Structure 1
């Protein structure tokens, strides 16, 4: 595997610029959780070098000793410009944003603004498993509204969940994952407008986790939740973290719709003390100057999506897979293979491939696993071949 033909710094695809040997020198969770003989395709880190504009901005800051506390509005201004260019949306109002440590901690602080212990938070399962962990740690109740067979929002099921959530006059929130992790579903404008109408009808506040918003195929439009009719009382959490592989440089933004501005104003100032100044510098540079690099990554991910379809058809025809259009994640259904509720355990032991287990993602997760596509085509090919050989 060490001899695979990738690792050229001049390759136009950033996913092929680092060799496996170089990647194994990393000390992040992806590369330190398992032994070196395991191909790690589990956690949401990308196998890419740092985008040059980001590296330059960080190097300048380090050279100046600019390592203090964050200040200013450069981050939301950069997001506003990025949203206008990428999504044709001019709705990022700097005065209705707040700096938060990361998206999940931002979600926690937003939920605190209008829910209390015992109140319900609706989620579309299968979904990013920290949704369950953080919500339950806040002493809120999770109410599931499972996706349909096409991995899309089922509006009838969602309405039933809203009714359950507000029963007895309780307050409730809907934690929307957009694009959906782990399925890669990109919600349409019509779907999101229908969500907003349902939420208004039942008095449910919408909080959209849009961390994967930059990671959407260039052939498909991403629609910010706050851009659709009826979403004025909603919130969004955004970050450059996933698009530019900056999870270790903590910074994110909470965005409020016009009718939620007073709620956002009640967020305690100390919440903004958690983000890293270097994180803010990195995220700002990514959004402002990292568009070309992002496009190259998106092209590489699209190639890997198509490659995975071919590899599964050739080596694992019993695996069901609906290719997503967003995120760099693939949701694989192994139930026909009889590997139990957690097939990732089988492939870790017998194929030395680490996938994210499906059961923690809630209803619809049993018999499934999530695979990270943000690697080289060679690593992806080797991983599928190993998995096939372990059956």
Structure 2
């Protein structure tokens, strides 16, 4: 452990921030450890928000990642409901609640915040889904509404639409791209996702932009599309992606272009590190800088960043993993699927809706996806980890 590090401040009390704090203790750090969070809630898990919490099968308390006693055992000082507002890298301080908190090492894990639609601010019936409070409010509004429009057919929007249909709520899913999850999964799998939703009663309006919202007396009444039509809605969920929470770092001198820029060891500057959704780092195996917004990465990168805080310099080069549960279907993937220029089914078939597919670029297997095929997918993971040549596994 680096002798000079006696005070560590972790900003961001989500999965990445908490994991970093736990990892520091597990790796032998015995100095002062402070966890700062903007929300008043103790750190909790987010993936169930669009599924179990929205469905009402889990109470929000079930999301908590650690018991209160465990924080005391680990000697983690929590400052919740008090967001950091600035960082002075020269003086090594973080501004919290109008006071400067000194640190020897700062670990940034502030995550992301949802994008919004123009004109949505302050309009009744318009929701985002990022926090547990968002999920509770949206569930109540969706159940009371006769018609819900979900704007954005990425992972969050598609999962929320599936959950709402399970509750019997009428749902229209809107996206400017030609199909749900097409950017993330490619056209072949996107078509299967589209079929899955239409078979469960979701009205899909893809390939059309959103021009704005209609309203009456301060409440949303519909979504105006780029083709001039209006989709009536009593409740709208905006799920059009997120942006990194870095505003509080303005003027710090850090690279803040699409998150906090880091080297391969999650180091953003001397004594400053980042992990989770907010971190953009150099992935040595890919040879490029990336940012990953997936739950598994939040945990794995937080552990890597904690080791870097304590003097480690091992590059963080994971094979990313993500999953999505929609209706009775589990979609799982390893690696990088977006940007692939080739696609092949390795086992099973698209028609049977049980398969493993390969994604490739520059004659390398860059990603593998399993549709209701967890065992086969796990075996295929090695193709990504080993950077297997496409031509070695897919006949010409």
TM-score range, shorter chain: 0.3 to 0.5
Q: Relative contact order (alpha carbons < 8 A, sep ≥ 6): 1 or 2 greater? A: 1
Task: Choose between structure 1 and 2: higher helix proportion.
Answer: 1
Return the TM-score normalized by structure 1: 0.32
